[in-house]
A and B are shown apart, each in its own frame.
Chain A
């Protein structure tokens, strides 16, 4: 860890002030962040932003009651003594109106040593602007060779975050992480006259991006932009569909993060442990210790030491994700699953939200389906969906569905002509006997990929509904 990592002590300073004023339980989560952004218009830098300094904290003021817990929460960017006092007073004022049915509330102590996990890109941490410039250069270099495509627009946003957690149980945690958001669109004008240019638009959220590997990825994006241009409408019907991990990353964490969590369990919306919701070969973990995953860290957002937990075994629900409050309400130990960031939309700061149960990084172990070519062979006839506009995952009903921005027909076991338009969707979870994505997984690819909150392979799904044109 570099010298700069761990130098911020936001929550610890705030805790010092709270300690003098509170005898009831409390916790505070603080962040001190530097962010740098480069925005591109074609190959030109349209705007350079940074450093963007953000320092803030969120305080929970907790009152154990008979059969319930009052939890007031307030957050602020005001680090002055007056600001901390005001924020604490706001949390205290909110507490009588915030009631949670926890029989007990266990906050972590500082006794357990959290595990080590690699969450920092050291180049980015030590030389953020130079590293970002290098990434931009690596991203644009392939366009120096004539390949018929050009960069359309994009941005690279790097976040260097120092996080601190303290509570009334004596806990003091400090750690640091980096993350990189890449949004990049490639345009191709190759192909038929009269068609609009084809665009392939990539979104990535990672702990680090390897500039050496990005060049070969750009070549693939350029080819796909060309395919968009002459893609035809997809067929209609219930088809066997391959969803790559980038598409699944839009669907699985958003829905399973809620439906397999304590908030859903408390409200009778979680499949009870032992229920079969997935295909027999399907395993699913939540791994808070995956190196360089953007949601990894030595502890969760309440300070509980992180670990890897089983969510589905042979398609069967094992245990939910609990933060301290939901664990207390359901009579379970916390599972280090307190998250302060929304699941569906990436947020580069988290102090402004109270914790609730959620996943770190969902992990589907690779299967025996093999490479893309072998997956297509196994499917025989169907559709390979390269990219959706957005999958619009609905955490409550578990429905999802998106416009096909680019796909390919699978004909006779081979990946065929590109398709575009129409929608594909269905239910991620369903009652026994009804069709769902998880219960219809027929092949699991052998190569995993990390993006945002999912590390997993491509999945072949039997009988997904496609509405073509």
Chain B
């Protein structure tokens, strides 16, 4: 499941400025002030080692600030200083994990003892499947203007400016402006000698314009975000915010959207969510090993048109879901899932890679130190095609433009997906017409793929930050992206 808006006024964001913000990174101590814990972590691993062929420890610390402003209230809230570690070891019965919050050495030692109890005497366990990470690396994300240099006063002033732009539109009484910065630091040590440190800083800004009339409430939202600093907020321009507020007002008078099977033009946020829900979740190899993916028998076959290429890219510069290493210590990478219509790759952790005779793709992620690892997406994208937006529009005799995607959900077993958008526009004879309220696209992924008629070019490509759950839990940041995409689908109420 992907949510661009876990609560609607968090908003979704589209696009990041160009620049290598994640890129190569820099080498510097990632986890400051906790260097003293690393020798303890290594001692704990050594104490566990006689009971297991493999063990690892992951430490995580997160911090940041969320500033919210609307007509009624202001809140500047530090993101909880959330830290702790998880120990994972291989046993004859599979993986065993214990975890504890804080950085109290006594708690860490107690956790290690609890793990040892659960591992038993340690006999009989062979090495866990797959290749472990090895070697050392230390990486930090870069920002042109780090959020730490934007004090709370300046964030509040910026939020008030956005609020002013939104409420300058007639009929918009209130708006929620949010400016958010998050730092996630992790280090990973293992009994195979891997030592990985990473520090990632994310920034996001959004505004939700609220229109209320005679008891009816509507809204529209716009946001920007990714890895980087306050330069990401520069794209929240007056023109964009006023347009968003104007659309919110127009939604009050919108008539019900048409329902049934029709031609649909997906905007970049919706196309990105299509990539996430269609070939993202289904291509997570743990689902394939569980025999729970409709894609399993299709690997290596042509599933879509030549114009369709889908990618998961954890190394994408500025991507909201980018990381340097996954939580098994493997470097992240760009993985082409569908190459010009042919389904060529899946996303793998070490176990799945071993089972499939492939290499780990750096997609093993934990939501935090309290959550188990799964094969997860990073940034999942529809690659730009060769068409122009206007060219795609001209092919539509009667259909809808789906915009401002809020969320999606997949059905890896049954091969269905659902994507919800906040608004849309009617298209008749190639012309964009009246505004439409929230809609849901649904149907079988393979049918949708067959119906794709075109993908627009790089000039339309945008990235969106969001959050993804595995099922309804384990929510972590994932990016989506794409240009415009033309297809046929069932559209219904949402």
Q: Contact residues of A with B, CB < 8 Å?
A: 35, 37, 39, 41-42, 44-56, 58, 71-80, 83, 86-87, 90-91, 93-94, 97-101, 152-153, 181, 183, 185, 187, 196-199, 201, 203, 228, 236, 266-269, 271, 275, 329, 342, 344-346, 351-352, 354, 389-390, 392, 394-403, 405, 420-426, 430-431, 465-469
Residue among A352, A354, A394, A421 having the largest count of chain B Cβ atoms under 10 Å: A394
In the assembled complex, the Cα of A75 lies from the Cα of B64 at a distance in Å of 11
Q: Interface 1/0s, chain B 233-259, versus A by CB < 8 A?
A: 000000000000000000000001001
CB-based contact A345/B475 at 8 Å = yes
In the assembled complex, the Cα of A214 lies from the Cα of B471 at a distance in Å of 21
* A196 touches which of B114, B406, B415, B490 (Cβ 8 Å): B415
In the assembled complex, the Cα of A103 lies from the Cα of B277 at a distance in Å of 47
* A152 touches which of B80, B94, B290, B437 (Cβ 8 Å): B290
In the assembled complex, the Cα of A48 lies from the Cα of B119 at a distance in Å of 11
Q: Is B397 engaged at the interface, CB distance under 8 Å to the other chain? A: no
CB-based contact A392/B73 at 8 Å = no
- Minimum C-beta distance from A53 to chain B (A): 4
CB-based contact B152/A94 at 8 Å = yes
CB-based contact B97/A48 at 8 Å = yes
Residues of chain A contacted by B260 (CB below 8 angstroms): 236, 467-468
CB-based contact B94/A45 at 8 Å = yes
CB-based contact B101/A346 at 8 Å = no
Do A401 and B80 contact each other (CB < 8 Å), given the known contacts A46-B95, A152-B292, A469-B443? no
* B83 touches which of A48, A78, A403 (Cβ 8 Å): A78
CB-based contact A199/B413 at 8 Å = yes
Question: Which of the candidate stretches B4-12, B185-193, B319-327 sits at the interface with the other chain?
Answer: B4-12
CB-based contact B99/A390 at 8 Å = no
Do A90 and B78 contact each other (CB < 8 Å), given the known contacts A403-B440, A403-B442, A421-B443? yes
Question: Which of the candidate stretches B216-224, B266-274, B334-342 sits at the interface with the other chain?
Answer: B216-224
Known pairs A77-B80, A196-B294, A199-B413; list 6 more (Cβ under 8 Å): A39-B372, A53-B100, A79-B104, A83-B81, A86-B81, A98-B77
CB-based contact A152/B101 at 8 Å = no
Task: Specify the chain A residue showing the minimal Cβ separation from B8.
Answer: A396
Question: Which of the candidate stretches B51-59, B207-215, B307-315 sits at the interface with the other chain?
Answer: B207-215
CB-based contact A76/B81 at 8 Å = yes
Residues of chain A contacted by B418 (CB below 8 angstroms): 389-390, 402-403, 423
CB-based contact A423/B494 at 8 Å = yes
CB-based contact A50/B98 at 8 Å = yes
In the assembled complex, the Cα of A236 lies from the Cα of B118 at a distance in Å of 54
Residues of chain B contacted by A400 (CB below 8 angstroms): 494
Residues of chain B contacted by A152 (CB below 8 angstroms): 290, 292, 413
Task: Specify the chain B residue showing the minimal Cβ separation from A48.
Answer: B96
In the assembled complex, the Cα of A397 lies from the Cα of B221 at a distance in Å of 13
CB-based contact A54/B84 at 8 Å = yes
Do A431 and B215 contact each other (CB < 8 Å), given the known contacts A99-B73, A236-B259? yes
* A183 touches which of B99, B261, B471, B490 (Cβ 8 Å): B471
In the assembled complex, the Cα of A74 lies from the Cα of B63 at a distance in Å of 11
CB-based contact A396/B6 at 8 Å = no
Please report which residues of chain B, range 98-132, place their CB below 8 angstroms from some CB of chain A when the two chains form the complex.
98-104, 107, 111, 114, 118
* B7 touches which of A49, A344, A466 (Cβ 8 Å): A344
Do A401 and B493 contact each other (CB < 8 Å), given the known contacts A48-B96, A196-B415? yes
- Minimum C-beta distance from B150 to chain A (A): 13
In the assembled complex, the Cα of A14 lies from the Cα of B324 at a distance in Å of 37
CB-based contact B492/A424 at 8 Å = yes
CB-based contact B217/A183 at 8 Å = no
Residues of chain A contacted by B219 (CB below 8 angstroms): 396-397
Residues of chain A contacted by B94 (CB below 8 angstroms): 44-48
Residues of chain B contacted by A198 (CB below 8 angstroms): 414
- Minimum C-beta distance from B260 to chain A (A): 6
In the assembled complex, the Cα of A54 lies from the Cα of B104 at a distance in Å of 12
Residues of chain A contacted by B407 (CB below 8 angstroms): 390, 392
A–B pairs, 8, beta carbons within 8 Å: A53-B99, A53-B107, A77-B80, A77-B101, A187-B413, A423-B418, A465-B493, A468-B490
Task: Specify the chain B residue showing the minimal Cβ separation from A398.
Answer: B217
Task: Specify the chain B residue showing the minimal Cβ separation from A68.
Answer: B73
Residues of chain B contacted by A90 (CB below 8 angstroms): 78, 81
Residues of chain A contacted by B111 (CB below 8 angstroms): 53
Give the interface residue-count category, chain B: 35 or more
Task: Specify the chain A residue showing the minimal Cβ separation from B81.
Answer: A76
* A422 touches which of B174, B215, B292, B490 (Cβ 8 Å): B490
CB-based contact A98/B471 at 8 Å = no
* A75 touches which of B80, B96, B290 (Cβ 8 Å): B80
Residues of chain B contacted by A389 (CB below 8 angstroms): 409, 411, 416, 418
Residues of chain A contacted by B104 (CB below 8 angstroms): 79-80
CB-based contact A352/B80 at 8 Å = yes
Do A467 and B491 contact each other (CB < 8 Å), given the known contacts A94-B76, A199-B413? yes
In the assembled complex, the Cα of A125 lies from the Cα of B414 at a distance in Å of 38
Residues of chain B contacted by A467 (CB below 8 angstroms): 259-260, 440, 442, 490-493
- Minimum C-beta distance from B49 to chain A (A): 20
Residues of chain B contacted by A354 (CB below 8 angstroms): 75, 77
In the assembled complex, the Cα of A374 lies from the Cα of B111 at a distance in Å of 54
Residue among A75, A100, A423 having the largest count of chain B Cβ atoms under 10 Å: A423
* A394 touches which of B8, B370, B372 (Cβ 8 Å): B8
* B494 touches which of A45, A86, A100, A425 (Cβ 8 Å): A425
In the assembled complex, the Cα of A423 lies from the Cα of B421 at a distance in Å of 13
Do A49 and B494 contact each other (CB < 8 Å), given the known contacts A54-B84, A345-B6, A396-B9? no
- Minimum C-beta distance from A277 to chain B (A): 10
CB-based contact A98/B491 at 8 Å = no
CB-based contact B83/A77 at 8 Å = yes
Q: Is B331 engaged at the interface, CB distance under 8 Å to the other chain? A: no
Residues of chain B contacted by A345 (CB below 8 angstroms): 6, 469, 472, 475
CB-based contact B102/A55 at 8 Å = yes
Please report which residues of chain B, range 436-492, place their CB below 8 angstroms from some CB of chain A when the two chains form the complex.
437-438, 440, 442-444, 469, 471-473, 475, 490-492
Residues of chain B contacted by A468 (CB below 8 angstroms): 260, 490
- Minimum C-beta distance from B413 to chain A (A): 4
CB-based contact A54/B152 at 8 Å = no
Task: Specify the chain B residue showing the minimal Cβ separation from A354.
Answer: B77
CB-based contact A469/B490 at 8 Å = yes
In the assembled complex, the Cα of A390 lies from the Cα of B111 at a distance in Å of 37
- Minimum C-beta distance from A282 to chain B (A): 18
Residues of chain A contacted by B292 (CB below 8 angstroms): 152-153, 185, 187, 199
* A87 touches which of B76, B81, B437 (Cβ 8 Å): B81
Residues of chain B contacted by A80 (CB below 8 angstroms): 104
Residue among B214, B216, B491 having the largest count of chain A Cβ atoms under 10 Å: B216
